[in-house]
């Protein structure tokens, strides 16, 4: 999918980093997700001086199946409620950040959700974000 241009590497900047635990082969998203990630991380960095951290991005079915065996709240592999990670439209951001930064992230994601740009769900350790529309 990378060679076909269907996936792009996660951008790594001063404002956006990738968790070291995320395997290299899963550090990709759909091309239209990249501008959203860059914009969100730059806004956050300008306000707080701290980067956002991507914990998860593209996830093949085999990984989702394994995850489902150990995490019963994980989305199924197939069907209407299947995980959107496989398509590369979804990424998870770590919630390990100061309370004020986390509250800002919740607020801005709510705004983007109201404008049909994302579907955001807060999970125990991360913000699960699916980009569904254009940010510009």
Other CB atoms within 10 Å distance of the CB of residue 105 = 22
What's the pLDDT at 35? 96
Whole-number Å distance between alpha carbons of 8 and 1: 9
Residue-range domains of the chain with CATH: 8-131 (3.30.1380.10)
Over residues 88-111, the pLDDT tens digits come to: 888 999 999 999 999 999 999 999
Check: CB of residue 131 under 8 Å from CB of residue 33.
Answer: yes
In the chain, DSSP finds a helix count (H) and a strand count (E) of 3, 7
What's the pLDDT at 23? 93
- The answer to which of 1-5, 53-57, 81-85 has the lowest mean pLDDT is 81-85
Q: In what order do the strands lie in the sheet with 52-56?
A: 16-18, 52-56, 90-94, 126-131, 118-122
- Specify the DSSP class assigned to residue 127: E
Over residues 60-75, the pLDDT tens digits come to: 766 556 665 566 566 6
Both tokens of residue 75? Answer: 């989305």
pLDDT band at 84 (very low <50, low <70, confident <90, very high): low
């Amino acid at each position: 999918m990378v060679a076909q241009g269907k996936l792009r590497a996660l951008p790594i900047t001063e404002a956006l980093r990738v968790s070291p635990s995320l395997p290299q082969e899963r550090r990709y998203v759909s091309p239209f997700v990249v501008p959203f990630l860059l914009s969100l991380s730059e806004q956050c960095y300008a306000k707080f001086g701290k980067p956002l951290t991507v914990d998860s991005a593209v996830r093949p079915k085999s990984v989702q199946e394994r995850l489902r065996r150990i995490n019963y709240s994980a989305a199924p592999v197939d069907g209407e409620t299947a995980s959107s990670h496989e398509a590369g439209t979804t990424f998870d951001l770590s919630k390990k950040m100061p309370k004020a930064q986390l509250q800002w992230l919740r607020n801005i994601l709510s705004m983007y959700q109201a404008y049909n740009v994302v579907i955001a769900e807060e999970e125990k350790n991360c913000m699960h974000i699916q980009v569904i529309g254009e940010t510009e």
